[in-house]
Amino acid sequence: MSKTDTDTGRDQEDLGAAGSQLSTAPQEEQTSLPGLGVIGWARWFWRQLTSMRVALLLLLLLSLGAIPGSLIPQTGADPAKVEDFRAAHKTLAPVYDQLGLFHVYSSVWFSAIYILLFVSLIGCIVPRTWQFVGQLRGRPPAAPKRLTRLPAYTTWRTQADPEQVREAALALLKKHRFRAHVAGDAVAAEKGYLRELGNLVFHIALIVLLVAFASGQLYKSEGNVLMVEGDGFSNTLPMYDDFKSGSLFETDDLVPFSFDLKDFKGTYEASGPNRGTPRTYEAKIRYSVGAYGKEKATTVKVNKPLEIDGSKVYLVSHGYAPVVTVRDGKGKVVFHAPVALLPLDGNVSSQGVVKVMDGYRDAKGKKEQLGFQAFFVPTFDAQSGTMLSQFPALLNPLLAVNAYHGDLGVNSGIPQSVYQLDKKHMKAFKDGKGQLLKKLLKPGDTLTLPNGAGSITFEKDIKEWAGFQIVQEPGGGWALGGAVAAILGLAASLFIQRRRVWVRAVRGADGVTVVEMAGLGRSESAKVPQELGDLAGNLYDQAPGAPDPDDDASESPVVPAEGAEK
């Protein structure tokens, strides 16, 4: 054995309990693989699973596993995009199906990593918590026999009695928020317990985040609804335009409330380089909670949702809904309603479809259905020569329409979009030149259909619509609290240092008291010697140095470099 190994062994033996681990982390033990037997293998597997390095590895795997969920379309979020991906990637799609990449967060492999991480964190936290509680209930360990072995050390001689020195040291250390007590001929003190508390809080917060995330995914609901000014909405499943939820969600979990959209207002920059940029989007609504709740008025803005008993109503989109009137050949009104059109650009150039499904008869009295393709611009500029809006506000609105008659296909049982026109069984109305009948309509203008088939009028009343997203995601508050706690706990574990200080005062052979002070931190740091120097200076003022036996010079407390002895 080398001299270095011998010295290290002596150091550990001299420090004893004083040099015990300054944390709640379990001791790393070099263990060989277990022998045959189920219990041995289970115990070995549990030790590996609950080690911190495995927990960090699982956390990394969970982060990596979430990446495909962000890059690849998911069936739970947008089934249409998944089908488009399948059609465009005939080779990759079957591979992704086998790997569960179209439903990452509910796949077997992602759930396995999630559960293993959960178990690993609990296995890490429980023993560390009990150990930390034991440390709080106990006292700082007594001073080792040889304080000179510690990395930060100083000593001096004083005329004060040992008892007086220890009492002064005890008061001084408690004043600096050390947990201190007299143990034999020395005062033992310890500080920095918040480091271990922060470590535990960080790991507990991770568990809270995992539970909150899981509950949010299992019990969440999210739906969208488009409402024209004057429309009402009740929070029931049939009222949604589209709706998706977690696997454990039930329709009875929907918060009972309703609201009406009274008015929508949007303002825009009128000039400058940001011309047309939205300044405000506001939806004025009246809502009530429950079947007999009192009606209240409020305004929903972007990023300022309406919160009702854990359900949030977000304002997510906006557009225009021109009011259109359709008459049959006899002048009877068969359709009169605002038609919501979908924006195509930032200036709200919009398109959509007007479908007249019931009540229409042509000039001969034959039942038919009508379909109109509509293109709307809120600000038309004739000089531009294009049917594109020049500004998002209603400065010069114009509606372009063309007309079809026949069977819309709405009774076939096949679902179709309200914003698209199925022309398979439709015939276009022709003008006098045999071309597709179309016309640009200003508010109040009418397009008359040929052969007495009726007409369509663009009314002067132009309404606006607002798109709302209603989200109900339990565990959001817990997730936020867990994230904040994790940040605070991590900051405490990184910036707070656990350290111990001992002050020994004994009477020497010549009757003069010898004072020794030493400090020990969890890791090598300049903070422990610096703090020990400040404490020694304060204690030296109360127990000043005595002359050495050889001369009359007084000795000031000096903290030597780490590892040095005096």
Nearest to 513 by CA among 149, 154, 163: 163
Outline where DSSP puts E strands in 128-231.
152-158, 179-183, 186-191, 221-228
CB within 8 A of 454, min separation 6: which ones?
326, 327, 328, 329, 334, 360, 362, 370, 448
pLDDT in tens, the chain (566 residues): 444 444 444 444 456 566 665 666 655 554 455 555 778 778 888 888 878 788 888 888 988 988 988 888 888 767 778 888 888 888 898 999 999 898 888 888 988 998 898 888 888 888 888 888 888 888 888 999 899 989 899 999 999 999 999 999 999 999 999 999 999 999 999 998 888 899 889 989 988 988 888 888 888 889 999 999 999 999 999 999 988 888 788 888 899 999 999 999 999 998 888 898 999 999 999 999 988 889 999 999 998 999 998 899 999 999 999 999 999 988 899 999 999 999 999 899 999 999 998 889 888 888 899 999 999 999 998 887 788 999 999 999 999 999 999 988 887 767 777 888 888 889 999 988 888 899 999 999 999 999 889 999 999 999 999 999 999 988 888 889 999 999 999 998 888 888 899 999 999 888 899 999 999 986 656 688 899 999 999 999 998 887 766 654 444 444 444 444 43
Pairing of strands 152-158, 513-521: antiparallel
Buried b (16+ CB within 10 A) or exposed e, 359-384: ebbbeeeeebbbbbbbbbbbbbeeee
- Token pair for residue 262? 């009274």
Main-chain dihedrals φ then ψ at residue 5, nearest 5 degrees: -60, -40
Using CA atoms of 170, 171, 177, 182 in order, give the dihedral in degrees to the nearest 10.
20
CB within 8 A of 146, min separation 6: which ones?
14
Outline where DSSP puts E strands in 132-210.
152-158, 179-183, 186-191
SS (H, E, C) 11-69: HHHHHHHHHCCCCCCCCCCCCCCCCCCHHHHHHHHHHHHCCHHHHHHHHHHHHHHHHHH
Pairing of strands 306-308, 311-327: antiparallel
Residue 291 buriedness (CB in 10 A; 0-12 / 13-18 / 19+): exposed
Element (H, E) at 359: none
